[in-house]
Amino acid sequence: MLLAAATLAPAIFTVLAYLVLAILAMLAGIPLANGAWRTNPITFTGAIAVPVLILAFTLTSQIRWTLRSQRAQRQRVSELEADLSAGLVRDETFSVTAVKRLRDPEHGMLILFLRLSNDKTFVLHDHASAETGAEGVTQPSLTPATTFHLLTFPVSKTRSWSFSGDPLSMPEPLDLTADDWPDDESWCKISWDRIEQHYAAKVR
């Protein structure tokens, strides 16, 4: 509430100042303002107030968005610093034992399921593939390799990953219609053998 009041106050004062200037112009006998005010004061006031309010709303929205972005950025930096200072960053290396590629037919994006040497499945979204997939021909941009490196920052809930080693041969993507695709850079809770069955009602 205090933030909203602080950001709205300049806009309110701007509108009031504009109206005061209009009234002073009328009293000073400026022909355009004076004539318009006496002919139709409501229209005259509205013609002044509406554009000012629109401008004030735009500026207020921009200010609030900027403040929220700065606050979120400061929080993220603070969380990353907390991870680093506490030594909580987990550095893990896995072998990639198998890969499944599913494709969202609506957007054309490829979703990779990596079966790792810890017998868990890690999910990656190939966001760049959605750009070509929307045009009808999906071009993958992610090429998994034999070794998967994963850094996990528990406080900030951030992950960083990379591949090394020899590139893996990729299976053909399977088009599935799903309502609940798994999150990007997350561990899949569905068992490896049930992935296709779980994430699609129909196989196209």
For 3-16, the pLDDT digits (tens) are 444 445 555 566 56
- On whether both 110 and 186 belong to a single domain, the answer is yes
- On whether both 75 and 57 belong to a single domain, the answer is yes
User: Which of 86, 103, 124 represents a domain boundary (last residue)?
Assistant: 86
- For the chain, where are the E strands, in sequence order? 90-103, 110-116, 121-126, 145-153, 158-167, 174-177, 186-188, 202-203
Query: 166, exposed or middle or buried, with CB in 10 Å at 0-12, 13-18, 19+?
Result: exposed
Q: What is the pLDDT of residues 117-152, one digit of tens each?
A: 999 999 999 988 877 654 555 566 788 999 999 988
pTM value is: 0.57
- On whether both 80 and 138 belong to a single domain, the answer is no
Residue 178, classed as helix, strand or coil, is: coil
- The Cα 122–Cα 139 span in angstroms is 21
Q: Which two tokens stand for residue 49?
A: 């107030």
Q: Name the DSSP class of 134.
A: T
- On whether both 122 and 198 belong to a single domain, the answer is yes
State the residue range of the domain holding 139: 90-203
- On whether both 111 and 23 belong to a single domain, the answer is no
- On whether both 55 and 104 belong to a single domain, the answer is no
- On whether both 82 and 164 belong to a single domain, the answer is no
- On whether both 76 and 99 belong to a single domain, the answer is no
Q: Which two tokens stand for residue 161?
A: 């990953």
Q: How confident is the model at residue 60 (pLDDT cuts 50, 70, 90)?
A: confident
- On whether both 103 and 80 belong to a single domain, the answer is no
- On whether both 82 and 151 belong to a single domain, the answer is no
CA distances from 87 to 74, 149, 151, 153 (A): 20, 18, 12, 10
User: Which of 26, 57, 86 represents a domain boundary (last residue)?
Assistant: 86
Report pLDDT for 161. Answer: 93
- On whether both 53 and 97 belong to a single domain, the answer is no
Q: What is the pLDDT of residues 38-59, one digit of tens each?
A: 555 555 565 566 666 776 777 7
Per the structure, how many domains does the chain have? 2
- On whether both 78 and 179 belong to a single domain, the answer is no
Cβ atoms 89, 83 nearer than 8 A: yes
User: Which of 86, 113, 138 represents a domain boundary (last residue)?
Assistant: 86
